[in-house]
Amino acid sequence: MSVDLTQLQAVLDKALQEVQKVIIGQTQVVNLALVTIITGQHALIEGVPGVGKTLLVRTLAGVLGSSFARIQFTPDLMPADITGTHIYRMETNEFTLVKGPVFTSFLLADEINRAPAKTQSALLQAMQERVVTIDRKNYRLPETFSVFATQNPVEFEGTYPLPEAQKDRFMLKIMMTDPTREE
Ligand SMILES: Nc1ncnc2c1ncn2[C@@H]1O[C@H](COP(=O)(O)OP(=O)(O)O)[C@@H](O)[C@H]1O
Ligand SMILES: [Mg+2]
């Protein structure tokens, strides 16, 4: 297989250009995000509220055009809300699988530190193994499965910051800061 690096560069430039129709500035952040996606990895985006974390990931999803899902993490979110669950159907006397939002190519795990560790773990397992376990059965995720999680690093009350050991599931931690005055 031959890899045409000029072609890759052209695709990245085009993607950056499209993202920047929505996101002002943050060029370095957008570049890191694109590298993460192209290499099939996961990224953790940290920054105070309002710097554009959610908007960035939504915009990337639009530009990529791949299947996309968003999970808003909350204190009452359950593992099954991420993975899915088997539902009993009376008509057929059978259990059928209702897949959760994790079954997608590109996933936004928004404000991941708002859910307790058990729920975070359901996602972290999927990220590491690209496999989801529901009621002891394993299901494969797409080859291109990539997760972008966001987290607010200065908010502690009622949150569950990711333990250091779990941060290594992410290839990159991307810090988003305030835009400059000119931007
Ligand atoms: N770099 C940016 N370019 C354009 N709009 C931005 C930017 N940063 C923030 N915004 C605006 O601020 C709003 C809040 O951003 P959001 O993505 O919800 O922030 P966060 O998820 O970090 O709290 C966005 O809807 C957008 O209108
Ligand atoms: Mg947000």
Site residues for ligand 1, CB cut-off 6 Å: 23-26, 47, 49-55, 179
Distance between CA atoms of residues 117 and 119, nearest Å = 5
Nearest residue (by CA) to ligand 1, atom 9, is 52
Going by C-alpha positions, the residue among 118, 138, 133 that lies closest to residue 78 is 118
Domain annotation covers residue 18:
no
pLDDT in tens, the chain (183 residues): 567 888 888 989 999 999 999 999 999 999 999 999 988 899 999 999 999 999 999 999 999 988 999 999 999 999 999 999 999 999 999 999 999 999 999 999 999 999 999 999 999 999 999 999 998 999 999 988 999 999 998 777 778 888 877 888 999 999 999 888 888
Residue ranges with CB less than 5 Å from ion ligand 2: 53-54
Domain annotation covers residue 5:
no
Domain annotation covers residue 11:
no
Domain annotation covers residue 12:
no
List, in sequence order, every residue forming a beta bridge with 150; answer none if it has no partner: 45
Strands 43-46 and 172-175: parallel
Query: Could you tell me the residue range of the domain that residue 79 belongs to?
Result: 26-175
Tell me the CA end-to-end span of the chain in Å, nearest whole number: 42
Over residues 54-76, the pLDDT tens digits come to 999 999 999 998 899 999 999 99
Domain count, the chain: 1
Nearest residue (by CA) to ligand 1, atom 16, is 52
Cα 126 to ligand 2 centroid, rounded to whole Å: 22
CATH of the domain at 70: 3.40.50.300
Over residues 118-130, the pLDDT tens digits come to 999 999 999 999 9
